[in-house]
Amino acid sequence: DVQLVESGGGSVQPGGYLRLACAASGKTYSIDYMAWFRQAPGKEREGIAAVYIGGGKTYYADSVKGRFTISEDNAKNTAYLDMNNLKPEDSALYYCAAGDVLSLRALSADEYTYWGQGTQVTVS
């Protein structure tokens, strides 16, 4: 199995910046994508960014494109999400996910086997 631990959530004013980190451990050789999802109260879980580990290819939802950047440090088995120009509508519980994923479905929650516990981001 793979264990994921997120960090970096918090509260920020509109227009602000936060960086989330997701550290993977365990059988990390079994995963090829890491991604970030978010879920606000009363809304469905939304895939917002994904990265192909070791290859650099990235995918973004339209809602965050141009403001958020996903990256990964393969040596540290860690993925990051840099969030710029945060808006109140970005407030949600953010989850890290990892798995052996079909690239065309890199932002689909069904593709991911492993999930972190979530970290809260509040923009107000």
pLDDT per residue as tens digits for the range 24-72: 999 999 999 999 999 999 999 999 999 999 887 999 999 999 999 999 9
Rounded to whole angstroms, how far apart are CA atoms 12 and 88? 9
Q: Residue 54 has what pLDDT? A: 83
Q: Residue 103 has what pLDDT? A: 85
Q: Check pLDDT > 90 for residue 78.
A: yes
Q: Check pLDDT > 90 for residue 22.
A: yes
Residue type present at position 5: V
Listed in sequence order, the residues at least 6 apart from 108 whose beta carbon sits closer than 8 Å to its beta carbon are: 47
Residue count (the chain): 124
Q: Which among 68, 35, 36, 65 has a CA at the least distance from the CA of 52?
A: 35
Q: pLDDT per residue over 96-115, tens digit each?
A: 999 999 888 999 999 999 99
Listed in sequence order, the residues at least 6 apart from 44 whose beta carbon sits closer than 8 Å to its beta carbon are: none
Q: Return the exposure string of 56-80: e unless at least 16 CB atoms fall within 10 Å of the residue's CB, then b.
A: eeebbbeebeeebbbebeeeebbbb
3-state secondary structure 79-99: EEEEECCCCHHHCEEEEEEEE
